[in-house]
Amino acid sequence: MVNAKSTFVKSDFENAAHELLQWYDQMARRLPWRLSPQARKNGDMPDPYRVWLSEIMLQQTTVPHAAPYFDKFTRLWPKVEDLAAAHNDDVMREWAGLGYYARARNLHKCAKVLAGLDAFPNTIEALLALPGVGPYTAAAVGSIAFDLPVAPVDGNIERVISRLMAIAGDGSAAGWAQDKKEITQRVQTLVPQRSGDFAQAMMDLGASVCTPKSPNCMICPWMDICLARQEGNQESYPAKPKRKPQPIRNGLAFVIFHEGKVLLQRRPDSGLLGGMLMPLSSPWEEGGEYTLEDYQPVKADWHYRGQARHVFTHFALHWDVYVAHLTKKPDLSGDWIDIDMCLEAGLPTVGRKALKLALDA
C-alpha cells in the first residue's frame, strides 16, 4: 500500500498557489465560459450565469462534450431570465445527450429562482440554497464568479492534491472518505486572493498535466514540491477503493412505426430519465428475462434489430430492440413523431441508440 510519505520531509506549500498561477497565466485553456487570466487582471469579472451554467453542465462530463451545449444554451437563452422563461420541454430537448436529466430539471428550476432575485447570490450559503447546487458547485461558482476564498474539490482536484501532498490512506472505503476530508481541508489552506483563477488552474492542471495515468510531471508547475513525485509513485495516488463491476440490467425496447411516424412515450417526471421521450419498453432488471410474448405493448409482427447498450452511473443496460410497422394505429398513449424528426426530438442518448438501430435496419 502507498504510504511512504512519512519518510519525506513535507514540502513547504506556501508558494504552491503562486507557482500554479504563474503557470496558469501562460497555459490557461480557452473555454467558452471562461475569462482569460489577463482579463481578470484587468478587473473584468465573469457573468455568474455563464459560470453557473457551465459548472452544472460539466458535472459528470468532459469539456469537449459540454462546450457545444453551453454554446447552444447561451445562444438560445443569453440571460438567466431567458432560460427561466423557456418551456421545460424545450430545456429538456436541448439538454438531451448531456445525461443526468435531473440536473436539467434542477437547472430550469434554479433559473426561475435566480430570475426572481435582485442579484446573483454571492455567498456560499446563498449559493448552497439554490436548487441543484451542492458544495462543489457553490465553491466553483463562488470562487470563479466572485473570487470567494474557497476551492472547489472534484475528482480531478482530489487526484492533484492527493499527489501534491501525498495524502493516501489504506485504499478502503473508510480510508478514502478520510482522505477526501483531509484533501478538502488542506486545499483550502492554499487558496490565494485570485481564488477564481486558482480554482480554474487546478482544473486545468488535473485535465491536462496531472492526468490519472502517466502524469506529465516534467511540465508541472508543482514538479519540485510534489511529494508523490518525490516518492516516484504518482499513479498510486489517490488511494481509492476498487470499483465493483457494474450490474447489467436487461430489457426490451419496442419501436412502433405507423404512417411515417414513430411512437414515443414520456417517462414519469421523477426518477431515471425523468420527463424524457423514449421508445416503449419492458421494465429493466438485473437478470430480467423478458419475452416478446409477455411484454409486447401490442400484438404485431415484431422484428429484432439488435441490442442498444448504455452505461448509467449504477448499472449498464442491455436493451433488445424490436420494431413493428403497423398499418392500423394502435390504441397506445404517447407522442407520434415524424420519422425524419425523431432523432432530433430530444431523446436521451440511450433512446437515440435504440431508435438508430430501428431506423438503420
Binding mask 141-180 for ligand SF4 (x = CB under 6 A): -------------------x--xx----------------
Which set of grid coordinates corresponds to residue 144?
470563479
Based on CB atoms, which residue is closest to ligand SF4, 162 or 281? 162
Q: Beta strand pairing status for 285-286 and 303-311?
A: unpaired
Closest CA to 262 of 319, 334, 338: 338
Given 92, 210, 255, 323, the residue binding ligand SF4 (CB under 6 A): 210
Based on CB atoms, which residue is closest to ligand SF4, 74 or 236? 236
Residues 220-249 that bind ligand SF4 (CB under 6 A): 220, 222-223, 226, 228-229, 234
Distance of CA 193 to the CA centre of its chain: 28
Given the rule CB under 6 A, which of 78-86, 128-136, 176-184, 215-223 is the region that contacts ligand SF4?
215-223
64: Cβ contacts below 8 Å, ≥ 6 apart: none
Residues 16-45 that bind ligand SF4 (CB under 6 A): none
Catalytic residue among 55, 231, 286, 289: 55
Q: At closest approach, how far in Å is the CB of 219 from ligand SF4?
A: 8
Closest CA to 94 of 69, 75, 57: 69
Based on CB atoms, which residue is closest to ligand SF4, 144 or 220? 220
Q: At closest approach, how far in Å is the CB of 302 from ligand SF4?
A: 54
Given the rule CB under 6 A, which of 16-24, 214-222, 265-273, 338-346 is the region that contacts ligand SF4?
214-222
Based on CB atoms, which residue is closest to ligand SF4, 191 or 355? 191
Based on CB atoms, which residue is closest to ligand SF4, 124 or 226? 226
Given the rule CB under 6 A, which of 52-60, 139-147, 209-217, 315-323 is the region that contacts ligand SF4?
209-217
Which set of grid coordinates corresponds to residue 114?
435566480
Given 63, 126, 128, 217, the residue binding ligand SF4 (CB under 6 A): 217
Dihedral angle sign, alpha carbons of residues 210, 216, 222, 225: positive
Based on CB atoms, which residue is closest to ligand SF4, 35 or 168? 168
Q: At closest approach, how far in Å is the CB of 208 from ligand SF4?
A: 10
Q: At closest approach, how far in Å is the CB of 167 from ligand SF4?
A: 12
278, β-bridge pairs: 265
Q: At closest approach, how far in Å is the CB of 237 from ligand SF4?
A: 7
Based on CB atoms, which residue is closest to ligand SF4, 160 or 324? 160
Q: Is 66 in the site for ligand SF4 (CB under 6 A)?
A: no
Q: At closest approach, how far in Å is the CB of 204 from ligand SF4?
A: 12
Residues 271-330 that bind ligand SF4 (CB under 6 A): none
Q: Is 55 a catalytic residue?
A: yes
Give the catalytic positions in this structure. Answer: 55
Binding residues for ligand SF4 (CB under 6 A)? 160, 163-164, 209-210, 215, 217, 220, 222-223, 226, 228-229, 234
